[in-house]
Amino acid sequence: MFTKLNPATAHSQDQLVWKVLFDRQTALLHRRAAPAFAQGLAKLGLRREAIPDIAELSATVFEHTGWTLAPVGRPFEPGAFFELLAERRFPIVTRIRPMHAFDFSPQPDLFHDLFGHVPMLLDEGLADFLHMLGQAYCAQPVGSPAREQLWALYFFTAEFGLVQHEGQPRLYGAGLLSSAGEIHHCVNENTPRVVFDLATVLRTPVTGERYQQQYFVLPAWEQLTECVAELAGLLAMA
């Protein structure tokens, strides 16, 4: 199940895809990404020149938030994914999207995980939030509606979330940070961006096969961790 990517021997086409995506996303994200993303990117030292070494990144992430990175050959089903989150381990898919899927990749890939997720893992608030989601998911019975709700909460935060910063909505979800097409769709004036409400998020259907119909905006970064207590109360009443 687990594979190891050696960036030094990665196919030249993969290196080119990484470089082009890196350049385009960093340009698109200027003044659009949450501060935590830019801070994490700088701490990791990610560069356009080459696909980074996953083991080295894992060591850096562990120093900051106690998480490690787990290279995998393909995306997981939610159950296996949340089990890793409960152990403070984040899966990194070792394949990178082909040229024809530059704008939008319906499945997580190397760029989505390394560029979109890993910088945010250096933020203690988000790292603790993901750990809590993993633990809460694993505590629910298989087939429980609560598991679907927790998946929705993860999806509309860690994948497609925005947060208000200095009066503007900033991107922090990896599905946005790593996709030019999703960014353009999100910032379009006709795309709904609504205030984050936990109850609404939990009952919103999840789809990863197309651009999102709406995005949820946290009024403040602190609300991401504050909603943990509210979520615990809702699960207790279920």
DSSP 194: E
Binding residues: 112, 117, 159
Q: What angle do CA 125, 129, 130 make, to 5 degrees?
A: 120
Binding residues for Fe cation: 112, 117, 159
Estimate the crossing angle of helix 78-86 against helix 124-139, to 10 degrees. 120
Residue 27 CA: distances (Å) to CA of 22, 30, 91, 118, 139: 9, 6, 26, 19, 41
Using alpha carbons, select from 100, 86, 129 the residue that is nearest to residue 226. 129
12 is catalytic: no
Which residue out of 58, 112, 179, 182 is catalytically annotated?
112
30 is catalytic: no
Which residue out of 58, 178, 182, 185 is catalytically annotated?
178
Host H or E run for residue 232: helix 223-237
89 - beta bridge partners?
Answer: 68
Which residue out of 58, 105, 117, 131 is catalytically annotated?
117
| Sheet with strand 215-218: strands edge to edge | 168-171, 162-165, 215-218, 193-195
159 is catalytic: yes
179 is catalytic: no
Host H or E run for residue 170: strand 168-171
Which residue out of 58, 105, 131, 159 is catalytically annotated?
159
Annotated active-site positions, please? 112, 117, 159, 178
